[in-house]
Amino acid sequence: MRKTCLLLLLALSLVAPASFAIACGPPPLPPEEVAAVRAYADTATSTTLQGLSKNNRAKYIEKANASFKAAVTQEVFDKAATQVNSQLGAYVSVEFLSTERSEEYTIVHYRAKYARGEVGVRMVFDRDHLVAGQWFE
């Protein structure tokens, strides 16, 4: 019995710190940094989502960096726009949720509202405040 208890305590001592590290994630940005991020990210996100909703690639990549622009070919864009528009309908608005830093990128989480529902959107910005990535969550 004592051996079982010791093994259980050892197992818990190994698992607990890992659970804590996973739950914590990166620390939140201070309010003044959040405001600075939102000053460029909210507009860029809205422009990007409007471009996708209106099947307008030029508008979609307007606030993007060179790598993002190169990756989003007309074919890639057309597939994404068709899928998003058929499932969600027209873009309505976006709501800021949170932001964090990851190495040289700033990640901003939003809730996007569409005619037929809502979806999480993760926008990634580079050091020049340009869109470097976008994911629907």
CATH number, domain 29-136, options 3.60.15.10, 3.40.30.10, 3.10.450.590, 3.40.50.20:
3.10.450.590
- What's the predicted TM-score (pTM) here? 0.79
Alpha carbon distance 75, 82 (integer Å): 11
Domain ranges of the chain: 29-136
Q: What's residue 31's pLDDT?
A: 87
Residue 25 has pLDDT above 80, yes or no: no
The DSSP symbol for 44 reads H
73-130 tens-digit pLDDT: 999 999 999 999 999 999 999 999 999 998 899 999 999 999 999 999 999 999 999 9
Cβ neighbour number for residue 115 with a 10 Å cutoff: 11
